[in-house]
Amino acid sequence: MLRLCQENHNHPSLDYNGDGHINMSDAVMLTLNIRNGRLQMVSPALAAWSSPGFGGGGAMFLPTVDPFDPDHVILASDMTGSFVTVDNGATWRNFNLRTRVDDIEFDPSTRGRVYALNTGLYRSDDGGQRWSLIYPTPAQLIEEKMTGDHADQWFYSTEGDKLPEWGYYKVRVDPADPNHLVIAKFPPWMGRIAIIVSHDAGLSWQKMVEIPPSDVLAIFPGAWWGKPEEMTIICVDRAFRFDEASGRLDTLALPQTPVAAAKGGIYGGSEPGSALYVLGTRPYRSEDGGATWTLAAGGLPSGAGFTTLEVCGKSARTVYLACNSVSGNYQFGIFKTTDGGGTWSWVYKADGNSVISANYRSSWMDKSYGPSWRGDPLSLGVSATNADICYATDYGSAYRTLDGGKNWEQVYSNNLPDGTYTSRGLNVTATYGVHFDPFDSLRVLLSCTDIGMFASANGGQSWSHAIYGIPSEWRNTCYWAAFDPEVKGRVWSVWSDAHDLPRQKMMTSGKLAKGGYYGGVALSDDSGVTWKTSNAYMPANTVCTHILLDPASSSSSRTLYVCAFSSGVYKSTDGGKRWNAASNGLGNNRNAWRMVRLPDGTLYLLVARGWESGKVIGGILYRSSDAAANWVPVALPAGYNFPNDLIYDPADPQRLFLCCWPTEDRTVEPWVERHGGLLRSEDGGKSWMQVFDDGAHVYAAALDPVHPSSLIISTFDSGTFRSDDLGESWYRLEGFNFKWGYRPIFDPRNPDMIYMTTFGGGVYYGPAVGVRGAFEDIENDQGFRWQSYRNGAHIKPGL
């Protein structure tokens, strides 16, 4: 190591003790670990983050095909991650641009250049492998903010009179001039929409005109109809023609409002001209840049409902159209025209039970649920140069045709001969936990939102859907599972059709408070292969979010505790055969979320922050010293009202770490988040100290089982962090930058590695110290929010 330090003293892998410096102490630490036998062989393949899983599971949008290479596609998801494939969907790579991407556009005249738009404009010059923020530029940023229950990301910059940069609707690259870019900019405070233009590929920008507030669906370049100084702007309820040279803005008539989609292209080949299409209740076509419109619905069934369409950019008579119903019947799919809407025909048709057109190669999603779960297409994407290539995305998957719609194939999962599945990298689901069978090191369960549970019998190499025996009304979400440490194969799990808890969005409708969801406890005696209900004397509308097993109880009559969101705590003393309420002492807020048991039997209960009658209901931390017979509130520092996770130090169980969700404070400008982060107690919760940024949305924590002074926390803020001194200082785990992190879980088979569960990105697997120097998608990312944590730098909390 000393010789390597002399030859390459800046290489991050030589920082053996992870203190941010490479010096003699690293060699000393290595020598001590060799002497103490604390070394473990790590495969080079493990020195990076991977994303094991089964693929699919969440809503996907904007499949966009490279005009230079039809095997190259980029798409976005509703869970902040985006994906790129260069092999026609055989494999996908996840990338993260701080939040959900709302528009994707390839430069039609520059190979490899592509733009992505959300709260900023990003550009890639290598097809989506590396990105740069070009508007606002990092030099213009005052601060990156993440506020609200979902840690919504936005930039506070010198642009826009220092108002919040909420984001942008659409970006358009002029096909006649790759330096000419147009953006429709989302207005702060719901003001007018700014149309801004760059003539130097994004180096500088000028506001050209403002239009009334409305969702902007498309910006069409005048180069398509021989007037490059013009553009047509289509909004949901209005349209405009803008002349950039003269500054003139004219209002255009739409054939119908509201408009659901607007797309266009040139006719190509020997046929001159271009076509714009808008979709109201039916599709319409314009051949004069939107000045006049013609109904383009030949042969479409009356009474059908349509959601979106897509046009072949260089063969604009070919259009694919998404349908969500036919004459009130639940039939959906895709229509296609090759004559500009003169005639349409089904190319993919399904109902709740099957693909009627029998031309779709499916995977686990259809096998478990049928096509109804995926539903009708949310987005379509057609190759600009090959009208036979079309991608479709829906509420759980992506699929594509290479022959003009004759055949379709899903592109999210690989079907293996033994009936299990592996992911192609397109993972879009929330995973709450990773659960390990104590009798079989290769048996692993994943508890998930929307898709219940998946199981692996080979250490995560492949997966099968593990919902057999779970009642249909519960199957949406498995929140947690607990293996019996003494009985082989026995495992309990908790379920509900209320997903995504404890997010506030699940409470605003009032359905949760009114008992409108279902759930309960299930038991398996074959490690999750099959299940049976185990919820006697528990109401059918019990939303179960956590289960805790008392290891001191008899294996023949286990004591179990269940958190019931909105109704408190249930307890069983006979292995789950019967349940009794155990909520004595709890207040009006009974959003029981998680429980922790200390070795001496003391229980802690985390009650999540709620929402009732338009008001926030504060969350609470409780303690019980009598096996849940009574609960007593544990005082938290003033303002802290959302405990989300609690862990204790096995070497000193009075040392507690409490993960907290902050509260948004809009009384200051810019808005801030307070009373979150991580608290530490050295006296069982009698007093607390802040040990990580109180504005951070810290979801969960885990202590290193090998190094007890080390712990990891995950956040919703594009960062996971490690401390090796019980929270006195921190560094960010490089290589993992998914926006919404859930829970760090140390791999019991290899404690140098961790699983990171996420809200919308499946499960990640990587080194527990991160990957020093890992590239993280954005080339000019100067750290943004977490600048002080870059490159493994240790800092004190309290930013």
Tokens of 5: 């330090």
pLDDT at 3 over 90: no
Q: Average pLDDT in the 562-578 region?
A: 97
Q: What does pTM read for this prediction?
A: 0.92
Residue 32 pLDDT level (bands cut at 50, 70, 90) = low
CA separation for the pair 410, 398 (Å, rounded): 6
pLDDT digits (tens, 9 = 90+) for 630-674: 999 999 999 999 999 999 999 999 999 999 999 988 888 777 899
State the DSSP code for 288: S
pLDDT at 35 over 90: no
Look-up of token digits 């259009």: 319
**Closest residue by Cα to residue 218 from 252, 189, 268, 179:** 252
Q: State the pLDDT at residue 553.
A: 98
Is residue 728 helix, strand or coil? coil
CA separation for the pair 308, 306 (Å, rounded): 6
Q: Average pLDDT in the 491-500 region?
A: 98
- State phi, psi for 336 to the nearest 5 degrees: -140, 145
Tokens of 55: 């693929």
Q: State the pLDDT at residue 666.
A: 80
- State phi, psi for 506 to the nearest 5 degrees: -75, -5
pLDDT at 371 over 60: yes
State whether the Cα torsion 153-157-163-168 is positive or negative.
negative
DSSP code per residue over 195-215: EEEESSTTSS-EEEEEE-S--
Residue 612 pLDDT level (bands cut at 50, 70, 90) = confident
Q: State the pLDDT at residue 495.
A: 98
DSSP code per residue over 571-595: EESSTTSS-EE--TT--S--BEEEE
Q: How far is CA 331 from CA 309, 353, 390, 620, in A?
A: 17, 10, 20, 47
- Calculate the CA dihedral of residues 185, 189, 191, 193 and round it to 10 degrees: 10
State whether the Cα torsion 50-53-58-61 is positive or negative.
positive
Residue 122 pLDDT level (bands cut at 50, 70, 90) = very high
Q: Average pLDDT in the 286-312 region?
A: 96
pLDDT at 247 over 70: yes
CA separation for the pair 125, 178 (Å, rounded): 12
Q: Average pLDDT in the 273-287 region?
A: 97
Q: State the pLDDT at residue 365.
A: 96
Q: State the pLDDT at residue 697.
A: 97
Q: Are 173 and 107 in contact (CB under 8 A)?
A: yes
Q: Are 526 and 489 in contact (CB under 8 A)?
A: yes
SS3 content of the chain, % helix, strand, coil (to 5): 10, 40, 50
Residue 600, number of CB atoms within 10 A of its CB: 10
**Max alpha carbon distance in the chain (Å)?**
84
pLDDT at 279 over 60: yes
Cα 423-429-434 angle, rounded to 5 deg: 80
pLDDT at 509 over 50: yes
Residue 314 pLDDT level (bands cut at 50, 70, 90) = very high
pLDDT digits (tens, 9 = 90+) for 551-561: 999 999 999 99
CA separation for the pair 591, 643 (Å, rounded): 11
**Percentage of the residues of the chain whose pLDDT score is greater than 90:** 83
Mean pLDDT across the chain, nearest whole number?
Answer: 92
Residue 157 pLDDT level (bands cut at 50, 70, 90) = confident
Q: How far is CA 152 from CA 75, 314, 740, in A?
A: 20, 37, 10
pLDDT at 603 over 90: yes
Q: State the pLDDT at residue 12.
A: 42
Of 41-55, 230-244, 589-603, 705-719, which range is least confident?
41-55
- Calculate the CA dihedral of residues 473, 475, 476, 480 and round it to 10 degrees: 130
**Closest residue by Cα to residue 290 from 226, 209, 223, 232:** 232
For residue 630, count CB atoms less than 10 angstroms from its CB and return exposed for 0-12, middle for 13-18, buried for 19 or more: middle
Q: Average pLDDT in the 180-185 region?
A: 95
State the DSSP code for 102: -
pLDDT at 477 over 80: yes
For residue 503, count CB atoms less than 10 angstroms from its CB and return exposed for 0-12, middle for 13-18, buried for 19 or more: middle
Tokens of 693: 């940024």
CA separation for the pair 780, 359 (Å, rounded): 45
Cβ neighbors of 392 (< 8 A, separation 6 or more) are 63, 320, 322, 334, 348, 377, 379, 380, 381, 398, 399, 400, 408
Q: State the pLDDT at residue 693.
A: 93
Q: Average pLDDT in the 730-747 region?
A: 95
Cβ neighbors of 266 (< 8 A, separation 6 or more) are 224, 273, 274, 275, 313, 314, 316
Q: Are 447 and 480 in contact (CB under 8 A)?
A: yes
For residue 553, count CB atoms less than 10 angstroms from its CB and return exposed for 0-12, middle for 13-18, buried for 19 or more: middle
CA separation for the pair 236, 257 (Å, rounded): 7
First to last CA, the chain: 35
**Closest residue by Cα to residue 563 from 521, 533, 619:** 521
Q: Are 786 and 792 in contact (CB under 8 A)?
A: no
For residue 644, count CB atoms less than 10 angstroms from its CB and return exposed for 0-12, middle for 13-18, buried for 19 or more: buried
CA separation for the pair 766, 756 (Å, rounded): 8
Q: Are 390 and 310 in contact (CB under 8 A)?
A: yes
State whether the Cα torsion 134-136-140-144 is positive or negative.
negative
Cβ neighbors of 227 (< 8 A, separation 6 or more) are 289
Tokens of 7: 């030859």
Tokens of 25: 């102490």
Tokens of 534: 């185990």
State the DSSP code for 465: E
CA separation for the pair 257, 641 (Å, rounded): 45
pLDDT at 160 over 80: no
Instruction: Enumerate domains of the chain plus CATH numbers.
Output: 1-36 (no CATH), 255-411 (2.130.10.10)
**Closest residue by Cα to residue 677 from 650, 713, 652:** 713
Residue 236, number of CB atoms within 10 A of its CB: 16
CA separation for the pair 195, 214 (Å, rounded): 13
Q: Average pLDDT in the 485-507 region?
A: 97
Strand partners, 294: 285
Which strands make up the sheet holding 121-124, listed edge to edge? 103-106, 114-117, 121-124, 132-135
Q: State the pLDDT at residue 142.
A: 82
Tokens of 584: 């004595």
State the DSSP code for 26: H
**Closest residue by Cα to residue 54 from 456, 328, 514:** 456
**Closest residue by Cα to residue 372 from 413, 322, 331, 313:** 331
Q: State the pLDDT at residue 43.
A: 43
Cβ neighbors of 406 (< 8 A, separation 6 or more) are 347, 359
CA separation for the pair 157, 144 (Å, rounded): 8
